């Protein structure tokens, strides 16, 4: 009997698409030994059919119409690797409604339209697999969905954007300039098509929404998250971190408050102690700490972006799809988040507690320190440390860095607003939490 062929259509043939093509081809025989079926790319949608690509392939596979792949009866598995949320949504919905298995790396799409996509998958008996959408090559979706299925989750936190971590690491180790490193991250294939998604925390927020759905069964609207990226982090912040045993990480926090049972999600540059694992996860690496009530804490570390790491995750889904098809399980929708937590409420800023770091540019004149301390005290924020470097004799302003004792997010937001309005403070203060997580 001839070997069964599982056909794969790639929509998008850029960094990730070409990586998937290359590794599927290189490991075709290994995968066939494991599966008893041969996985083959048979169609590829591109924008420009004449563009030179990094790998040899049969040009007869090309089309400029990704929708034609989504509904092609001869394609078993549709991979959406174009990015964006308009055509990507159309393609994904069409394939799911046709009962196909769709593999997606597109966290923006899943964050914004996950509810509609999974409803379409259910209706059409399709499947949406999305391992590459969070933390690149780290199999964290599979860990939460499958390996930790018996757990309820107290918290999930970590570094979810490779580009930001790469930039912060190089700013820290080499004092390198932000723009120059961002250009390198783009050339290495780490950054999103619109790199502001990386540096403004948007991409990490998309991923946090996906993780929160898996863990708690609720689609949290993106606008309900507190999101800040790394664009305002300066060498002064990095110097403070280094001198005090911290690293600055863009930390995604998905946490259930002990007292209220409410869910809190934020993406913020954060001081993380070098004593803990996350403080030393550098470069394009991501790290995710998952606290389950049965297992305890598990931590996952690995490359969060890049062609090969992402292709590894996409191919794991393609192989899962092939297994479903080979074993007769395709055409039966499986809910990725069956935990029934859709009613979990979101915590308010008054309910969130942390220590904070605040950097201010203050006017260099007598009485300024008293004014800053009094404004903070008025909002129930007490100081843990104050640092001001010696300034030149003729300087008119100075950088003041304070860290606080534990206070609420609302208190620090209000205090910073008051500081910004004060005539002693120039510009907008920069604030970040000091993490209390120990993973």
**Binding of ligand LTNE7NMQ at residue 216 (CB under 6 A)?**
no
Q: Is 123 annotated as a binding residue?
A: no
Q: Is 192 annotated as a binding residue?
A: yes
For ligand LTNE7NMQ, the closer of residues 156 and 418 by Cβ is: 156
For ligand NAI, the closer of residues 107 and 359 by Cβ is: 107
Query: In the stretch 122-151, what mask flags binding to Na ion with x, by CB under 5 A?
Result: ---------x---x--x-------------
Residue 303, binding choice from Na ion, ligand NAI, ligand LTNE7NMQ, none, Cβ under 5 to 8 Å by partner class: none
Residue 161, binding choice from ligand NAI, ligand LTNE7NMQ, Na ion, none, Cβ under 5 to 8 Å by partner class: ligand LTNE7NMQ
For ligand LTNE7NMQ, the closer of residues 42 and 161 by Cβ is: 161
**Binding of ligand NAI at residue 264 (CB under 6 A)?**
no
Among the listed residues 374, 156, 171, 148, the one whose alpha carbon sits nearest the alpha carbon of residue 286? 156
CB 204 within 8 A of CB 267: yes
Looking at 83-91, 96-104, 157-165, 230-238, which segment touches ligand LTNE7NMQ (CB under 6 A)? Answer: 157-165
Is 97 assigned a catalytic role?
Answer: no
CB 134 within 8 A of CB 203: no
**Binding of ligand LTNE7NMQ at residue 237 (CB under 6 A)?**
no
**Among 62, 87, 277, 299, contact with ligand NAI (rule: CB under 6 A):** 87
From 100, 145, 207, 249, active-site residue: 207
Query: In the stretch 182-221, what mask flags binding to ligand NAI with x, by CB under 6 A?
Result: -------xx-xx----------------------------
Q: How far is the CB of 130 from Na ion (least distance, A)?
A: 8
**Among 9, 126, 304, 336, contact with ligand LTNE7NMQ (rule: CB under 6 A):** 304
**SS3 labels along the chain:** CCCEEEEEEEECCCHHHHHHHHHHHHCHHHHHHHHCEEEEEEEEECCCCCCCCCCCCCHHHEECCHHHHHCCCCCCEEEECCCCCCHHHHHHHHHHHCCCEEEECCHHHHHHHHHHHHHHHHHHCCEEECHHHCCCCCCHHHHHHHHCCCCCEEEEEEECCHHHHHHHHHHHHHCCCHHHHHHHHHHCCCCCCCCHHHHCCHHHHHHHHHHHHHHHCCCCCHHHCEECCCCCCCHHHHHHHHHCCEEEEEEEEEEECCCCCCEEEEEEEEEEECCCHHHHCCCCEEEEEEEECCCEEEEEEEECCCHHHHHHHHHHHHHHHHHHHHCCCCCCCCCCCCCCCCCCCECCHHHCEEEEEEEEEEECCCCHHHHHHHHHHHCCCCEEEEEECCCCCCCCEEEEEEEECCEEHHHHHHHHHHHHHCCCEEEEEEEEEECCCCC
Applying the rule CB under 6 A, the residues between 376 and 415 that interact with ligand NAI are none
**Among 136, 201, 336, 429, contact with ligand LTNE7NMQ (rule: CB under 6 A):** 136
Q: Nearest residue to ligand NAI, using CB? A: 14
Residue 114, binding choice from Na ion, ligand LTNE7NMQ, ligand NAI, none, Cβ under 5 to 8 Å by partner class: none
**Among 24, 39, 46, 344, contact with ligand NAI (rule: CB under 6 A):** 46
Residues that bind ligand NAI (CB under 6 A): 12-17, 45-47, 66, 81-83, 87, 105-106, 132, 136, 189-190, 192-193, 305-306, 310
Residues that bind ligand LTNE7NMQ (CB under 6 A): 136, 161-163, 190-192, 198, 203, 304-305
Residues with active-site annotation = 207
């Amino acid at each position: 009997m001839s070997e069964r062929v599982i056909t794969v259509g790639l929509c998008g043939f850029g960094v990730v698409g070409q990586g998937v093509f290359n590794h599927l081809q290189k490991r075709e025989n290994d995968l066939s030994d494991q599966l008893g079926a041969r996985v083959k790319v048979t169609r590829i949608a591109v924008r420009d059919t004449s563009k030179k690509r990094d790998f040899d392939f049969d040009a007869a596979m090309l089309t400029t119409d990704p929708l034609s792949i989504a509904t092609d009866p001869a394609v078993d598995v549709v991979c959406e690797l174009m990015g964006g949320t308009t055509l990507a949504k159309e393609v994904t919905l069409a394939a799911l409604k046709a009962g196909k298995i769709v593999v997606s790396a597109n966290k923006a799409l899943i964050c914004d339209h996950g509810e509609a996509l999974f409803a379409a998958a259910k209706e059409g008996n399709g499947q949406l697999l999305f391992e590459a959408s969070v933390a690149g090559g780290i199999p964290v979706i599979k860990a939460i969905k499958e390996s930790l299925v018996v757990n309820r989750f107290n918290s999930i936190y970590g570094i979810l954007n490779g580009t930001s971590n790469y930039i912060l690491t190089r700013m820290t180790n080499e004092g390198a300039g932000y723009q120059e490193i961002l250009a390198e991250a783009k050339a290495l294939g780490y950054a999103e098509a619109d790199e502001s998604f990386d540096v403004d925390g948007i991409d990490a927020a998309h991923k946090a929404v996906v993780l929160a759905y898996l863990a708690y069964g609720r689609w949290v609207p993106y606008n309900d998250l507190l999101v800040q990226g790394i664009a305002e982090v300066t060498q002064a912040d990095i110097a403070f971190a280094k001198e005090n045993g911290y690293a600055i990480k863009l930390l995604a926090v998905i946490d259930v408050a002990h007292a209220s049972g409410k869910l809190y999600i934020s993406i913020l540059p954060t001081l993380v102690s070098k004593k803990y694992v996350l403080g030393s996860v550098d470069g394009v690496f991501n790290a995710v700490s998952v606290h389950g009530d049965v297992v305890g804490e598990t931590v996952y570390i690995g490359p969060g972006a890049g062609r090969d790491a992402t292709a590894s995750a996409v191919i794991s889904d393609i192989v899962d799809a092939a297994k479903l098809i080979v074993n007769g399980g395709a055409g039966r929708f499986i809910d990725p988040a069956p935990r029934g937590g859709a009613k979990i409420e979101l915590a308010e800023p008054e309910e969130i507690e942390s220590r904070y770091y605040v950097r201010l540019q203050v006017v260099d004149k007598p009485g300024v320190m008293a004014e800053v301390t009094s404004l903070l005290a008025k909002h129930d924020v007490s100081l843990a440390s104050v640092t001001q470097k010696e300034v030149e004799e003729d300087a008119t302003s100075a950088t003041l860095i304070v860290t606080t004792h534990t206070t609420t997010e609302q208190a620090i937001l209000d205090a910073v607003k008051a500081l910004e309005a004060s005539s002693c403070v120039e510009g907008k203060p920069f604030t970040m939490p000091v993490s209390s997580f120990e993973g």
